[in-house]
Amino acid sequence: MTDTREASGRCLCGACVLHAEKLSRHSSACHCSMCRKWGGGPLLAVECGTEVRFEGEEHIATYASSAWAERGFCSHCGTHLFYRISDNGAYIVPVGLFDDEADFELVNQIFIDEKPTFYDFANKTKMMTGAEVFAMYAPGGGAE
């Protein structure tokens, strides 16, 4: 990952504190139906790699949302904490968790073919369909 920094963030109630050693400044928007159902809208997130640690791990609940990833959330307040790739343990974390959101730049939109028509982002970004995402990231190149 290029252009990274260390950062910390927390859930709404403060029971879960996240420390990312290699937080990307480049954020992405995921328009897939699972992310929209999970959070009520697109997931705005950043890649954090595997060097992530938590305080309050006993308060983290997980849900295996697909054959290749799980989602984590605070069991007290319900704050979404991460999307973690099962194969390599890489974390994708919602931008809003971090204490300082000023330096992020929206550079990519994924599952653009699932984006509903009622919203659009003005930012000029790279756009990838679900098939392109699965071909690039999913083990075996396919969905579930």
pTM: 0.88
Q: In which band, very low, low, confident or very high, does the pLDDT at 62 lie, cut at 50, 70 and 90?
A: very high
| Distance in angstroms (rounded) separating the CA atoms of residues 90 and 139 | 13
Residue 1 has pLDDT above 60, yes or no: no
Q: Which residue has the higher pLDDT, 143 or 79?
A: 79
The pLDDT value recorded for residue 68 is 85
The pLDDT value recorded for residue 5 is 81
The pLDDT value recorded for residue 101 is 72
CATH fold for the domain made of 4-141: 2.170.150
Average pLDDT over the chain, rounded to an integer? 91
* Segment 10-34, tens digit of pLDDT: 999 999 999 999 888 999 999 999 9
The pLDDT value recorded for residue 144 is 43
